[in-house]
């Protein structure tokens, strides 16, 4: 048997409402279910947070281990290099003396040669095709070398490594 109670509405009239024990129990069960859901959400959130912290710690340990391995590798290579080069440094340098006969000295003339070497001269396409070095239909790159030409003009042998980078096809 259901108990019916009256409730005052907004206009002051009485409206019958089924309340009683069953409605109260149903509301209590809903609240308990909501509380269980909230507790489950908190538990999941806490578990997610623990997993995140665990991953963070594992990542830090992995990075530390990699750094340690790298340091050990550097030390190992350094030790091996020292052993290999250290043994040759401790031994006195061997010298070989050659006796030159007086006849050979008279026959030989002293000769000298000047060798100049220039490393990479990298010429990129925008530089190569710039109008600054345009001379009619050709390009004149002599101004590039005007400040160093005195160093290289007097050489007997001159070696220049020229690298040209382009996207020409």
Q: Any idea where the domains of the chain sit in the sequence?
A: 15-88, 114-165
Higher pLDDT, 114 or 4: 114
pLDDT the model gives residue 169: 53
Tens digit of each residue's pLDDT (9 = 90 or more) over 12-26: 555 555 567 888 888
Average pLDDT for residues 39-63, to the nearest whole number? 96
pLDDT the model gives residue 13: 56
Residue % of the chain over a pLDDT of 90: 30
Average pLDDT for residues 49-73, to the nearest whole number? 96
**DSSP alpha helices (H): ranges in 8-167?**
20-90, 102-107, 125-128, 149-153
pLDDT the model gives residue 99: 67
| Confidence category of residue 103, pLDDT binned at 50, 70, 90 | low
Average pLDDT for residues 60-76, to the nearest whole number? 95
pLDDT the model gives residue 82: 86
Tens digit of each residue's pLDDT (9 = 90 or more) over 140-151: 777 777 777 777
Sequential DSSP letters for 45-86: HHHHHHHHHHHHHHHHHHHHHHHHHHHHHHHHHHHHHHHHHH
pTM over 0.85: no
Residue % of the chain over a pLDDT of 70: 62
Q: What is the CA radius of gyration of the chain?
A: 46
């Amino acid at each position: 048997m259901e108990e019916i109670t009256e409730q005052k509405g907004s206009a002051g009239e009485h409206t019958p409402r089924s309340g009683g024990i069953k409605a109260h129990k149903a509301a209590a069960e809903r609240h308990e279910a909501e509380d269980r859901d909230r507790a489950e959400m908190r538990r999941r959130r806490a578990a997610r947070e623990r997993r995140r912290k665990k991953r963070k710690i594992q990542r830090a340990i992995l990075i530390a281990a990699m750094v340690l391995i790298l340091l050990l590798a550097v030390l190992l290579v350094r030790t091996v290099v020292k052993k290999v080069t250290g043994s040759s440094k401790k031994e006195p340098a061997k010298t070989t003396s050659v006796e030159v006969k007086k006849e050979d000295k008279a026959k030989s003339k002293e000769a000298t040669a000047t060798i100049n070497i220039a490393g990479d001269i990298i010429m990129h396409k925008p530089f190569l095709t710039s109008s600054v070095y345009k001379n009619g239909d050709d390009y004149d790159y002599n101004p590039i070398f005007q400040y160093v030409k005195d160093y290289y003009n007097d050489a007997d042998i001159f070696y220049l490594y020229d690298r040209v980078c382009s996207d020409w096809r």
